[in-house]
């Protein structure tokens, strides 16, 4: 693959398992994701599908009893799967950074936000304190924080949720990372603020060429900002495609169900489509396809074998036997 | 159907309802949070009225004040024509059981030390509605059936259920007293998309079966579109606009309503609009709400009068809007 | 009613439903997680059995004075030696466990009942009631508790019952504080609001929804309060205002051994070690129970 060199981040067949007292939980079970530079990649799925755990594995933030048991993570072609703690912390925040759903928990409540961002700069770059402070103010301006000089001295609790998220994004961007992972960055925010943050992320992609992995459960957010989408379910990628393609030619029954069960803004429905049941317990996955017990389009094979990802069109892959051999059966 | 419902009698009416919370540790004299400021609202029998707005707009507080879970600071409440605002607790008991609540967080709304039977039986035993133990168990099992929890799980504890199932248990508890009005406070916003649609369908079924009236509090406008007959949009403790769901979504009269609707990320990439106008700024503090129209600090159409005077109610057909310069009005 | 579809949804989800965590499971978890606590629990049971069956276990009569056998060093006949009146130390320590355990359990229980009730009331009703109760508790906590107990003991005289009263009066305030804090947060819980929206009476809410959820912390607090009560009794006896001779109280034994500290050290070491073992066992058990029971520490 000559594509390899071009990718900002490449995840190959990643397996992260949790070794609990009740058994092994395959939270991430063979996930491959390509992140080209300057793109927003969507990672979408319901709770427990493994989307956050994939991100944590990439960041090297998996905690006991979780462990990467297989696969590779390549950052611009460099293997970062098994780095020492020291090397890992050089990469983290510098080349890959991450923002979370609730910025309040990732900011220290007893320090002004400006100082926290300044510290992040001093940690990774050789600049004087004064220069670092100026950088902070520039970054605050860049991520659209009004009155950045004043906000430098604000404590986290004095800022609204939207502003706190902007500070977090600013902190994530201080070292101009190649990849930023955003885990449900707008879920805790109101819609009008969410729209602002999404627009900011698009701007960062376009102006700085940052690649963003956007983890979300919201199909609307995906449609709004992502260039390419991976739909995850029970530790697997079920479907992946370029965004327009995915919404236009939804192929996997799970993706179809997800899209159908969202209430529409136009037109009146009497009942909503439902996917029966809930996400299976990862300790007791069905024998065949992970989705077979909720799927309404199963064939016999679905209950016996696990399907692979089949390419149906260029860049569009589906983990469903109905597309075995690349064509719909 | 919607039109038929609206002609029903007024079930609950709030007149000039005000709810203020004293702010603890305020240095400058007595500061209060203006959570609800002079709301007039009618809820008709058999309808679903949605309260929508962003966080801090007072929708949850209004919901709880309407059913007297919080005492109103001023204003009056009438339930079927009877003034219940300052009614003695003993006398109020017969109204209390006609108004129930469904909560947002299915993990916090069930006592972790009580099993399903005890949880659902609590309303029944409180009003002595069961003849004996076996009658009580029969009624509990019946309620479990109505919300789709198999009767054999009667002795299980909340932590053994998934979020969606817990929400069903909470719903069973709320309908146990056969109430007239149920306040649903963000009942599906903590649930995954596929579970959300199951619960919404269930709520609709129960409404049809028992002629329930819902006050549906939500920030999710697509969910509201599906379930509500009428919508009341709130901003910072005040009503912006009330009207029939379909026409309100089609032609919003209040600028805030329009911005809210436009800000929702649509699950269709073709509807992307990089140029669309976003609301700027943040939501003002309910401790020091802006003078005049409370929306004027964020409203791009605000004029001098908006800063000075609170807009009066304007009737546009069947709809009511609180704006000096309603759109297309 | 379209219950068919919902039923199917839930049933397909059965694998999701976790096993019920019974009382036994929690015990197993304690043993698995914290061996020290489990060992302490066993030790406490052994000590309690020993105290209950003291007449059967003790080799000698703890009060019998055999003057010719005074101040014997530990040996075959007397494992822990004898005191200055020729009484067998081992028998006295076994009998002393009766006193120490009663002192540990009874006043702790009384003070915790008082503290729990006051804490619940203060936390739930708030306002002036809360203010009055908690300021009273603050006053109690501001005094060194041993001093307070001594004052009580001096005015009422020594003896077991008076120790009960003194220690009960001294220790309720700490419990009240903890219960009040828990009540304050629990009364904001959504399930409490749900109960209020149903119309459940305040007292029932307190007993059904709030108290049971305080229980884990109360159990932990109980195991941690016992050793401090035992220590207080020992200190009071040591200071001469607690148990009176010829009682077999451990605290008293330590005092009496003081005189012979350099010549016959076992007289004070044996009871001190006994106190230490019991106190540590309860503390370890308390810590272990906290890990198992405390809902805030529980893994999600």
For residues B255 and B273, the answer to whether their CB atoms sit within 8 Å is: no
Q: Could you tell me if B292 and B188 lie in one domain?
A: yes
Confirm whether B171 is domain-assigned.
Answer: yes
pLDDT digits (tens, 9 = 90+) for A104-143: 778 888 999 999 999 888 888 889 999 999 999 999 998 8
**Chain A, chain C: beta-carbon pairs less than 8 Å apart:** 20
Domain harbouring B18, CATH code: 3.40.50.300
Helices then strands (H, E): number in chain B?
Answer: 11, 12
Q: With contacts defined as CB-CB under 8 Å, which chain A residues touch B192? A: 46-47, 217, 278-279
**Can you give the pLDDT at residue C296?**
46
Q: How many CA atoms lie within 13 A of B309 on its CB side?
A: 10
Residue B71 — φ and ψ, nearest 5°? -75, 135
Residue of C166, C107, C105 lying closest to C140 (CA atoms)? C166
Return the number of CB contacts < 8 Å for A and B: 120
Q: Are A80 and A73 in contact (CB under 8 A)?
A: yes
Please say if the pLDDT value at position A246 is more than 50: yes
Distances (CA, A) of C9 to A275, B168, C13, C144: 9, 12, 7, 61
Tokens of C219: 């159990």
Contacting residues of A for B269, CB less than 8 Å apart: 223-224, 243-244, 247
- Residue B328 maps to a domain: no
Residue B30 has pLDDT above 70, yes or no: yes
Instruction: Look at residue B92 and tell me whether its pLDDT is greater than 90.
Output: yes
Cα–Cα distances in angstroms (integers) from residue B38 to residues A218, B15, B78, B185, C221, in the given order: 35, 8, 15, 21, 48
Residues of A with CB under 8 A from a CB of C: 274, 276-278, 280-281, 284, 293-294
Burial level of C22, CB count in 10 A (0-12/13-18/19+)?
exposed
User: Which H or E run includes C18?
Assistant: none
> Of B154, B177, B200, at which residue does a domain stop?
B177
CA B246 to the chain's CA centroid: 18
pLDDT at A74 over 80: yes
Domains and CATH numbers, chain A: 3-95+175-326 (3.40.50.300), 96-174 (no CATH)
Alpha carbon separation from C261 to B72, C31, C90, C256 (Å, rounded): 72, 39, 18, 9
CB contact under 8 A, A293 and C5: no
With contact defined as beta carbons under 8 Å apart, do B179 and B212 qualify?
A: yes
Q: How far apart are CA A281 and CA A228, in angstroms?
A: 28
To the nearest whole number, what is the mean pLDDT of chain B? 90
**A183 within 8 A of A226, measured Cβ to Cβ:** no
3-class secondary structure per residue, B3-63: HHHHCCCEEEEEEEEEEEEECCCCCCCCCEEEEEEEEEEEEECCCEEEEECCCCCCHHHHH
> Rounded to an integer, what distance in angstroms lies between the CA atom of residue A6 and that of residue A74?
11
For B130-163, letters b (16+ CB in 10 Å) and e give beeeeebeebbbebbbbbbbbeebbebbbebbbb
Nearest by Cα to A187 from A299, A77, A102: A102
Write out the H or E segment, with its range, that includes residue B304: helix B304-308
Omega into C144 within 30° of 0, i.e. cis? no
Residues of A with CB under 8 A from a CB of B: 46-47, 160-163, 190-196, 198-199, 202, 217-225, 243-244, 247, 257-259, 261-265, 268-269, 271-275, 278-279
Position B105 in a domain: no
Buried/exposed B9-23: b ≥16 CB within 10 Å, e otherwise: eebbbbeebbbbbee
Q: Which of chain B's residues have a Cβ under 8 Å away from the Cβ of C213?
A: 111-113
Domain stop point among B124, B152, B177: B177
Identify whether residues B256 and B128 lie together within a single domain.
no
What tokens were used for C111? 């003070």
CB C163 within 8 A of CB C153: yes
| Residue B162 included in any domain | yes
CB contact under 8 A, B96 and C197: yes
Distance CA C103, CA C275 (A): 12
Residue B272 DSSP code: -
Residues of chain B whose beta carbon is less than 8 angstroms from a beta carbon of chain C are: 67, 69, 93, 96-97, 99-101, 103-105, 108-114, 122-123, 126-127, 145-150, 153, 156-157, 159-162, 165, 168, 170, 173, 177, 198, 202, 205, 209
CB contact under 8 A, A265 and B192: no
Q: How far is CA B51 from the centre of its chain?
A: 5
Residues B212 and B273 in one domain: yes
Quote the tokens at residue A319: 């983990």
Cβ B236 vs Cβ B222: under 8 Å: no
Q: Measured between alpha carbons, how far is B3 from B47 in angstroms, rounded to an integer?
A: 9
Q: Which residue has the tokens 């799925």?
A: A45
Q: What is the pTM of this model?
A: 0.85
Tell whether B168 and B192 lie within a shared domain.
no
From chain A, the residues in CB contact with B265 under 8 A are: 194-195, 198, 218, 220-221, 223-225
In the predicted model, is pLDDT for residue A283 greater than 80?
yes
Q: Are residues B170 and B220 in the same domain?
A: no
**Integer Cα distance of A274 and B197 in angstroms:** 6
DSSP C244: -
- At A43, give phi and psi (nearest 5°): -120, 105
In a domain, residue B312? The reply is yes
Subunit contact A258:B194, Cβ cutoff 8 A: yes
B192 plus B288 within the same structural domain: yes
Its domain, for residue B150, covers 115-177
Query: Which residue does chain A place closest to C13, by CA atoms?
Result: A277
Crossing angle of helices C89-125 and C160-186, rounded to 10°:
40
Q: Provide the pLDDT for residue C123.
A: 94
In this structure, is residue B106 part of a structural domain? no
DSSP three-state, residue C267: helix
Q: From the CA of C2, how many Å to the nearest CA of chain B?
A: 7
Which among B110, B122, B209 has CB closest to C198? Answer: B122
Q: Are C88 and C60 in contact (CB under 8 A)?
A: yes
Whole-angstrom Cα Rg for chain C: 24
Q: Which residue of B has its CA nearest to A196?
A: B278
The token duo for A186 is: 């707008």
* Cβ pair B269:A224 closer than 8 A: yes
Pair A321, A289: CB distance under 8 Å: yes
**Claim to verify: residue B61 and residue B76 sit in the same structural domain:** yes
Q: Identify the residue among C190, C204, C216 best suited for mutation to test binding to B, counting B beta carbons within 10 A and taking the highest.
A: C190
Same domain? B158 vs B204: no
Instruction: Assess whether pLDDT exceeds 70 at residue B1.
Output: no
Helix, strand or coil for residue A159?
Answer: coil
Do B184 and B173 belong to one domain? no
Cross-chain Cβ contact A191/B269 below 8 Å: no
The number of domains in chain B is 2
pLDDT higher than 50, residue B5: no
Rounded CA-CA distance A191/A194 in Å is: 5
Please say whether the beta carbons of B148 and C10 come within 8 A.
yes
Non-local (6+) Cβ contacts of C262 within 8 A are: none
Alpha helix (H) residue ranges in B148-251: 163-175, 193-210, 221-227, 245-250
Q: Give which of A247, A106, A107, A103 is closest to A187, Cα–Cα.
A: A103
- Compare A277 and A204 and report the one with higher pLDDT: A204
C-alpha C142/C-alpha A62 separation (Å) is 47
Residue B254 gets which letter from DSSP? S
Domain boundary among B149, B177, B205: B177
Q: Which chain B residues are Cβ-neighbours of A196 within 8 angstroms?
A: 278-280
What separation, in Å, do the N-terminal and C-terminal C-alpha atoms of chain B show?
Answer: 27
Distant-in-sequence, close-in-space partners of C179: CB < 8 Å, separation ≥ 6: C115, C116, C118, C119, C120, C123, C214, C218
Tell me the average confidence (pLDDT) per consecutive run of 10 residues in chain C, 300 residues long. Answer: 35 42 70 83 92 88 83 81 84 89 89 94 92 92 83 79 83 92 91 92 92 88 86 83 80 84 86 91 86 54
pLDDT digits (tens, 9 = 90+) for A136-195: 999 999 888 888 999 999 999 888 888 899 999 999 888 889 999 999 999 888 888 899
Does a cis peptide bond (omega within 30 degrees of 0) precede residue A65?
Answer: yes
Name the nearest CA neighbour of B115 among B155, B167, B150, B142.
B155
Residue with tokens 């603890």: B24
Q: pLDDT tens, B191-222?
A: 888 889 999 999 999 999 999 999 999 999 99
Strand stretches in chain C, DSSP E: none
B227 contacts B203 by C-beta, under 8 angstroms = yes
Phi, psi of B47 (to 5 degrees): -95, 170
In a domain, B30, yes or no: yes
- Chain B residues bordering chain A (beta-carbon distance below 8 Å): 54-55, 162, 164, 192-198, 200-201, 204, 219, 221-223, 225-227, 246, 249, 259-261, 263-272, 274, 278-280, 282-283
**Complex confidence, ipTM:** 0.86
Cα distances from A92 to residues A5, A51, A178, in angstroms, run 21, 19, 11
Instruction: Look at residue A248 and tell me whether its pLDDT is greater than 80.
Output: yes
Supply the pLDDT for residue A268. 73
Residue B285's pLDDT band (cuts 50, 70, 90): confident
For the segment A264-274, the average pLDDT, to the nearest whole number, is 83
Same domain assignment for residues B146 and B225: no
Subunits in contact with chain B (3 or more CB pairs closer than 8 Å)? A, C
User: Which of C13, C190, C208 faces B103 most closely, judged by CB atoms?
Assistant: C190
Annotate A178-191 with three-state secondary structure.
CEEEEECCCCCCCH
Interface test with A, best of B188, B190, B192 (most A CBs within 10 A): B192
Mutate to test the interface with A, among B197, B202, B216, B231 (most CBs of A within 10 A): B197
Cβ within 8 Å, pair A280-C15? yes
Q: Please report whether residue B253 resides in a domain.
A: yes
Whether residue B137 sits in one domain with residue B123: yes
Higher pLDDT, residue B146 or A269? B146
Residues B209 and B227 grouped into a single domain? yes
């Amino acid at each position: 693959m000559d594509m390899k060199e071009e990718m900002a981040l490449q995840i190959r067949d990643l397996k992260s398992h949790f070794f609990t007292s009740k058994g092994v939980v395959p939270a991430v079970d063979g996930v491959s994701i390509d992140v080209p530079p300057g793109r927003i990649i969507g990672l979408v799925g319901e709770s427990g599908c493994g989307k956050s755990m994939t991100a944590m594995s990439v960041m090297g933030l998996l905690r006991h009893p979780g462990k990467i048991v297989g696969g590779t993570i390549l950052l611009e072609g460099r293997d970062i799967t098994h780095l020492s703690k020291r090397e890992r912390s050089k990469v983290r925040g510098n080349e890959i950074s991450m923002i979370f759903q609730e910025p309040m928990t990732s900011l220290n409540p007893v320090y002004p936000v400006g100082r926290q961002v300044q510290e992040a700069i001093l940690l990774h770059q050789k600049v004087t304190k004064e220069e670092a402070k100026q950088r902070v103010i520039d970054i605050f301006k860049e991520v659209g924080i009004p009155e950045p000089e004043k906000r430098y001295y604000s404590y986290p609790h004095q800022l609204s949720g939207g502003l706190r998220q902007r500070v977090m994004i600013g902190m994530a961007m201080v070292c101009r990372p190649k990849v930023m992972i955003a885990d449900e960055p707008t879920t805790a925010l109101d819609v009008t603020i969410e729209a602002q943050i999404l627009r900011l992320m698009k701007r960062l992609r376009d102006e700085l060429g940052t690649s963003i992995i956007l983890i979300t459960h919201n199909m609307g957010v995906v449609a709004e900002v992502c260039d390419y989408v991976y739909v995850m379910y029970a530790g697997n990628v079920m479907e992946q495609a370029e965004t327009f393609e995915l919404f236009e030619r939804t192929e996997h029954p799970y993706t179809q169900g997800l899209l159908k069960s969202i209430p529409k803004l136009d037109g009146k429905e009497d009942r909503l489509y439902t996917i029966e049941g809930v996400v299976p317990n990862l300790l007791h996955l069905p024998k065949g396809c992970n989705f077979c017990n909720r799927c309404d389009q199963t064939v016999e094979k679905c209950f016996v074998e696990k399907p692979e990802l089949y390419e149906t069109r260029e860049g569009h892959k589906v983990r469903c036997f109905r597309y075995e051999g690349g064509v719909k059966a | 159907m919607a039109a038929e419902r609206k002609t029903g009698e007024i079930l609950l009416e709030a007149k000039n309802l005000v709810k203020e919370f004293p702010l603890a540790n305020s240095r400058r004299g007595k500061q209060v949070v203006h959570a609800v400021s002079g709301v007039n609202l009618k809820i008709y029998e058999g309808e679903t009225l949605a309260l929508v707005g962003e966080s801090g707009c007072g929708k949850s507080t209004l919901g709880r004040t309407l059913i007297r879970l919080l005492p109103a600071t001023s204003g009056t409440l009438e339930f079927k024509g009877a003034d219940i605002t300052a009614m003695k607790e003993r006398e109020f008991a017969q109204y209390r059981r006609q108004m129930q609540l469904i909560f947002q967080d299915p993990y916090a709304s069930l006592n972790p030390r009580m099993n399903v039977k005890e949880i659902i039986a609590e309303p029944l035993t409180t009003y002595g509605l069961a003849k004996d133990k076996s009658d009580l168990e029969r009624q509990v099992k019946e309620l479990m059936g109505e919300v789709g929890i198999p009767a054999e799980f009667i002795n299980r504890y909340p932590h053994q259920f998934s979020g969606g199932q817990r929400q069903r248990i909470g719903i069973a508890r709320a309908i146990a007293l056969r109430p007239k009005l149920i306040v649903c406070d963000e009942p599906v916003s903590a649930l995954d998309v596929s579970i959300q649609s199951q619960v919404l369908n269930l709520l609709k079924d129960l409404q049809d079966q028992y002629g329930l009236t819902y006050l549906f509090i939500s920030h999710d406008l697509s969910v509201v579109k599906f379930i509500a007959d009428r919508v009341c949009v709130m901003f910072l403790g005040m009503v912006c606009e009330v009207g029939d769901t379909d026409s309100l979504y089609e032609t919003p009269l209040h600028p805030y309503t329009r911005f809210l609707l436009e800000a929702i990320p649509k699950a269709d990439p073709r509807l992307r609009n990089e140029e669309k106008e976003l609301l700027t700024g943040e939501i003002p503090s309910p401790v020091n709400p802006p003078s005049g129209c409370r929306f004027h600090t964020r409203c791009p159409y605000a004029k001098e009068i908006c800063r000075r005077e609170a807009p009066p109610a304007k009737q546009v057909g069947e709809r009511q809007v609180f704006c000096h310069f309603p759109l297309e009005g | 009613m379209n219950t068919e579809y919902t039923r199917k949804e839930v049933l397909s989800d059965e694998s999701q439903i976790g096993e019920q965590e019974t009382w036994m499971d929690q015990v197993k978890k304690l043993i698995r997680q914290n061996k020290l606590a489990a060992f302490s629990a066993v030790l406490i049971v052994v000590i309690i059995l020993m105290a209950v069956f003291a007449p059967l276990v003790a080799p000698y009569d703890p009060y019998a004075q055999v003057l010719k056998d005074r101040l014997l060093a530990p040996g075959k006949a007397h494992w822990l030696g004898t005191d200055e009146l020729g009484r067998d130390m081992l028998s006295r320590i076994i009998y002393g466990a009766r006193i120490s355990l009663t002192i540990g359990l009874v006043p702790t229980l009384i003070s915790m009942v008082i503290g729990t009730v006051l804490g619940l009331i203060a936390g739930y009703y708030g306002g002036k009631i809360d203010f009055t109760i908690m300021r009273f508790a603050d006053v109690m906590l501001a005094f060194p508790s041993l001093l307070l107990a001594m004052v009580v003991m001096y005015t009422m005289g020594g003896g077991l019952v008076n120790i009960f009263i003194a220690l009960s009066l001294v220790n309720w305030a700490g419990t009240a504080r903890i219960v009040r804090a828990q009540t304050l947060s629990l009364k904001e819980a959504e399930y409490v609001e749900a109960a209020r929206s149903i119309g459940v009476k305040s007292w029932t809410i307190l007993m059904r929804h709030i108290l049971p959820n305080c229980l884990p912390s109360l159990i932990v607090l109980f195991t941690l309060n016992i050793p401090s009560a035992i220590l207080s009794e020992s200190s009071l006896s040591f200071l001469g205002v607690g148990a009176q001779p010829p009682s077999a109280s451990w605290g008293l034994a330590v005092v009496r051994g003081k005189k012979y500290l350099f010549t016959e050290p076992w007289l004070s070491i044996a009871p001190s070690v006994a106190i230490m073992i019991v106190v540590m066992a309860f503390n370890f058990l308390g810590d272990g129970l906290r890990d198992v029971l405390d809902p805030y520490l529980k893994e999600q």
